[in-house]
Structure 1
Amino acid sequence: MRNVLNTLRVLEEVAIRQPVGVGELARVLVMPKSSVQRALYTLNTAGWIRPARAEITRWVVTTRALSVGRYASGDLGLRDAAVPVMEELRRCTEETIHLTVPEGDKVVLIERLETSKPVRISMSLGHELPLHASANGKAVLANSPPEIIERLLDQGLARYTDTTITNRDRMLAELERIRAQGYATNHGEWRSDVGSIAAVIGDAGVPIASLSVNLPVSRLCDVSSARYGAAVREAAHSITTRLRHAL
């Protein structure tokens, strides 16, 4: 069992730090180099990782991880319902569209449709975003049960930028505002250059996912926030309806 767990830990670190070598992995994981080497050999044989640029000393993950990841959390049904709506939302906003699902105290990006504009928000599938400092996360958090909100607040809210909301009362007021208008906004709270507008997919108290329009902060103003907010709110509602009909 320990060998299996160590192999999975190595896979996770390769995904985060790729391209990465044995020495760095051993240091980060506090594992003997021989154990890391065995795990890398197993992962390479199984097709989960490969040498970076044909250099056996550094490793990257393969697309096998993406194909398996698409089955996480029953995401295939969600994607089937969401992608056509996402395509229409991208067409009418001309911006990048993200679909995320909640996982613990974060949301995870499971699908994206990119804008054709040269300046865009670039984020890989599987990327994690904090609940309290991203539009996707705040949309989910605002519609979560009170005990989940309280637990997150009790843990303390990490600061990522100068605009991150870390005060308990301010966050509660922000969540109330999100519920009232039906969408969340992020003006550089996670990364100073990233702006987004998101709405929850699912019913109040049972958030399934969140949908967002993503763009550089330089393109996000009060007018665009309101326009994109109305569009993403309607799109999220459409996906929720599609999911109900699929049950």
Structure 2
Amino acid sequence: MKNVLNALAVLEEVAARQPIGVAELARAMDLPKSSVQRALLTLHEAGWLRPTGGAPTRWAITTKALHVGRHATGELGLRDVAVPVMEELRRQTDETVHLAVPEGGNVVLIERLETSQPVRIILPLGQILPVHASANGKALLAASPAEVVERRIADGLASYTGTTIIDPARLRAELARIRELGYATNGGEWRADVSAVAAAVLGESGLPVASVSINVPTSRTTEELRAVHGSLVAEAAKRIGAEVRRGSGVG
């Protein structure tokens, strides 16, 4: 039983920190390196984890974990509704389009449609995005009740880059601006090379069930482009939300 619990704990930790190597994982979990290595190999054999290549080996979750999670939360229905709208967004912008959902206080990437351009944003499905430092996260937070925002602030606002918002008053002001605009922006607040705009998808209760985003390398974005993308993503989120509320059973 202990080995099973260790393996599940390793799976959760890899999902939160991917890609990650065995030594770093052992330190983070305060477990013997040999125990972590056994769990990684077991999860790899079962199809839950995959090596990302390079040396030393680093590990990431596979789409098997994502698929099981979708069945548990109803995300397959959400994806079916969202993907056609996301396809249109990609055609309009030729940029990478993401769909993310709130989960356990985090934001998780569940679908990705990639740009045809050679310089692109590449994030794995299952990637956990910081709530206060990503466009998807801020869009969801802005559409959430005040107590959710305050709970997130109380948990602490980690700094990722020089532009990450870590001051509670600034974050509250940013969320108010997002509500006024109808979409959130991220100008390298999580990763300096990643910029994005995102809008929340609202379910039947009026609460956010997902967010959709357009993701652009920071080197390719401009204020004008951000405004154009913001309008497009806000409209896309409204369309997805309308379909969700019409009877997909999500939200």
The TM-score bracket by the shorter chain reads 0.7 to 0.9
Instruction: Note the residue ranges of structure 1 that are not aligned, 5 or more in a row.
Output: none
Q: Quick check: which has more Rg, 1 or 2? A: 1
Query: Which residue is 1:208 aligned to?
Result: 209
SS class of match (2:119):
coil
Shift of 1:218: 2.1
RMSD: 2.7
Q: Does 1:244 align with 2:245?
A: yes
SS class of match (1:71):
helix
Structure 2 Cα separation of the partners of residues 19 and 114 of structure 1: 24
SS class of match (2:210):
strand
Structure 2 Cα separation of the partners of residues 106 and 189 of structure 1: 16
Describe the shift of the 1:108–1:40 C-alpha distance in structure 2 as closer, same or farther (beyond 3 A): closer
Shift of 1:29: 2.8
Describe the shift of the 1:11–1:167 C-alpha distance in structure 2 as closer, same or farther (beyond 3 A): closer
Please give the residue correspondences for 1:111-126 in structure 2 after superposition, counting only pairs within 5 Å.
111-126=111-126
Query: Which residue is 1:135 aligned to?
Result: 135
Letter in 2 for 1:236: A
Greater shift in the superposed pair: 6-15 or 231-240:
6-15
Letter in 2 for 1:6: N
Describe the shift of the 1:119–1:145 C-alpha distance in structure 2 as closer, same or farther (beyond 3 A): same
Describe the shift of the 1:143–1:30 C-alpha distance in structure 2 as closer, same or farther (beyond 3 A): same
Describe the shift of the 1:140–1:26 C-alpha distance in structure 2 as closer, same or farther (beyond 3 A): closer
Shift of 1:221: 1.6
Residues 116-149 of structure 1, C-alpha deviations (whole Å, 9 max, x = no match): 0111111111111111111111100001111011
Q: Work out whether residues 18 and 127 of structure 2, in 8 Å CA contact, stay in contact via their aligned partners in 1.
A: no
Structure 2 Cα separation of the partners of residues 145 and 182 of structure 1: 16
Structure 2 Cα separation of the partners of residues 49 and 132 of structure 1: 28
Shift of 1:20: 4.2
TM-score between both structures, scaled by the size of structure 1: 0.86
Q: Does 1:172 align with 2:172?
A: yes
Greater shift in the superposed pair: 78-87 or 98-107:
98-107
Structure 1 Cα separation of the partners of residues 41 and 196 of structure 2: 41
Structure 2 Cα separation of the partners of residues 37 and 129 of structure 1: 26
SS class of match (2:74):
helix
SS class of match (1:99):
strand
Letter in 2 for 1:219: R
SS class of match (1:111):
strand
Query: Which residue is 1:80 aligned to?
Result: 80
Structure 2 Cα separation of the partners of residues 154 and 49 of structure 1: 33
SS class of match (2:73):
helix
TM-score between both structures, scaled by the size of structure 2: 0.85
Q: Work out whether residues 185 and 198 of structure 2, in 8 Å CA contact, stay in contact via their aligned partners in 1.
A: yes
Greater shift in the superposed pair: 68-77 or 98-107:
68-77
Letter in 2 for 1:124: P
Please give the residue correspondences for 1:39-188 in structure 2 after superposition, counting only pairs within 5 Å.
39-40=39-40, 42-49=42-49, 60=59, 63-188=63-188
Greater shift in the superposed pair: 44-53 or 96-105:
44-53
